[in-house]
Structures are given as C-alpha cells and as structure tokens.
Chains A and B, each alone.
Chain A
Amino acid sequence: SQKIEQNSEALNIQEGKTATLTCNYTNYSPAYLQWYRQDPGRGPVFLLLIRENEKEKRKERLKVTFDTTLKQSLFHITASQPADSATYLCALPYTGGFKTIFGAGTRLFVKA
C-alpha cells in the first residue's frame, strides 16, 4: 500500500539557518507532491505543489525538490525565522483519485 514517511522527531534549528525536512514514499509513483504547514489547533495551509517532471520549485524562502528515482522530496526553508515554527506535512494524491494521503508531519522549532 502507499506509504509516506516523514521524520517524526522534531527539528530544532537556529534562526537564520536553513531547515531541511524530508519526505519519503513507497509503493507509489505520484504525479505531484504537496507540502503543507500546520500550526497547533489549526487546519493545514497549502504551501507548494511540485510535479513529477519538476526537479525543484521555489516560493520566496521555500524550496522543494522532488526525486522520483529516490522517491523522496526535500523541503527547505532558508533564512529561517521563529515564525516558521510549525508542523510541516508532506502529501501525495491517491492513485487514480482526488483523495490525498498525508504524512504524519515533522515539527520544526526555530530558535531566536
């Protein structure tokens, strides 16, 4: 079955550094992959979508890579700020439908 893995351990980094989060998936060849941000007690917020034929995508301080050979996506936040502290979710579409499967998320803490 389709499976998404994100590092369950929280990531702690210093303000100004680059945060890198990893998403791995198995038994699957998605047409695209998405990243969401979720703050405590709130619904997820869509950040970026990257397609299978795109190697990299950028949006302001965010950068996402998508390696379909490794079945892995990396999510980078450059010049991180305390306001970037949140849980970041990786998501993939189910095969043949509109449903989405979410990873458990990685909690990021940026220290001032």
Chain B
Amino acid sequence: GAVVSQHPSRVICKSGTSVKIECRSLDFQATTMFWYRQFPKKSLMLMATSNEGSKATYEQGVEKDKFLINHASLTLSTLTVTSAHPEDSSFYICSALHDTQSGSYEQYFGPGTRLTVT
C-alpha cells in the first residue's frame, strides 16, 4: 500500500517560535495533500488542502498566516506553525491523495506529529 511519512513525530517548542512539519508520499506522487488537526477523542478537523505548485486552500476559521503550507513538489508538503502558542498544541496529521484510476481516490495518512508548545 501507499506510504506517507511525517517528520518529526514529536516536537516541543517554546511560545513564539515556529515549527515546521514535513509530509512525504514515499511511493506515489500526490498533487493534493491535506493537513488535519485532531484533539483527544475527537475526529480529524481539516485545516487546509495543499496543492502542488499553487496556494493552499484553507478551511474557514484557519489562519493562513499562522499555518503556512508549502507544496513544492509532488511528494512533499510542509506545514509551518508560526509564532506558536500553547493553544496550538495538538496532533497534526497529513494525508496524501492517491488516484486509484477507477473514479475514486484514497487518502493515505502520515503517522502524525504531536506538537507541544510550552
């Protein structure tokens, strides 16, 4: 099956600093990747759609200047949390869209990144 990696798996940073999270599709090309945020015992909340070679599309209520997304290649998307605050602490998960070539798409998820802002 398709594999998506995410790095780092855990990161602790101080308030006011920025942290970058990488998402890579290892064995397929993905023109579309997604970034989610998940709170404990809650469902995944879509933050933005990352499109290769173009600007990301952000969901309502998500600050684009705070959560910078770059999708510079068909296998890599990055999420940068700028000027992090403790309330940004969460589990961030990326996914890459895989075209099944049969009229549907499958999402393959990365293992997630646990961000803790102190």
Q: Which residues of A contact B (CB under 8 A)?
A: 31-32, 34, 36, 41-46, 49, 51, 89, 91, 93, 98-105
Dominant SS at the A interface? strand
Residues of A with C-beta under 8 A to B94: 43
The 8 nearest A-B residue pairs measured at CB: A43-B109, A104-B43, A43-B112, A43-B93, A102-B43, A102-B44, A44-B109, A43-B111
B42 touches A98 (CB 8 A): no
A46 touches B44 (CB 8 A): no
How many positions in chain B have a CB within 8 Å of any CB in the partner chain?
26
Q: How far is the CA of A51 from the CA of B42 in the complex (A)?
A: 26
A-B contact pairs, 20 of them (CB 8 A): A32-B104, A36-B109, A41-B114, A43-B94, A43-B109, A43-B111, A43-B112, A44-B93, A44-B109, A46-B106, A46-B108, A49-B104, A91-B107, A99-B34, A99-B49, A101-B46, A102-B44, A104-B42, A104-B43, A105-B43
Indicate which residue in A51, A98, A103 contacts B105 across the interface (CB closer than 8 Å).
A98
A98 touches B97 (CB 8 A): yes
B1 touches A41 (CB 8 A): no
A46 touches B1 (CB 8 A): yes
Q: Could you tell me the distance in whole angstroms from the C-beta of B114 to the nearest C-beta in chain A?
A: 7
A98 touches B49 (CB 8 A): yes
Q: Could you tell me the distance in whole angstroms from the C-beta of A37 to the nearest C-beta in chain B?
A: 10
Indicate which residue in A89, A93, A98 contacts B32 across the interface (CB closer than 8 Å).
A98
Q: Could you tell me the distance in whole angstroms from the C-beta of B54 to the nearest C-beta in chain A?
A: 14
Residues of A with C-beta under 8 A to B44: 44, 89, 102
On whether A51 and B114 interact (CB within 8 A), knowing A44-B109, A105-B43, the answer reads: no
Residues of A with C-beta under 8 A to B1: 46
Nearest A-chain residue to B57, judged by Cβ: A99
A-B contact sample (15 more), CB < 8 A, given A41-B112, A44-B93, A46-B109: A32-B104, A34-B107, A41-B91, A41-B114, A43-B95, A43-B111, A44-B44, A46-B106, A93-B105, A98-B32, A98-B49, A99-B34, A100-B34, A100-B107, A105-B43
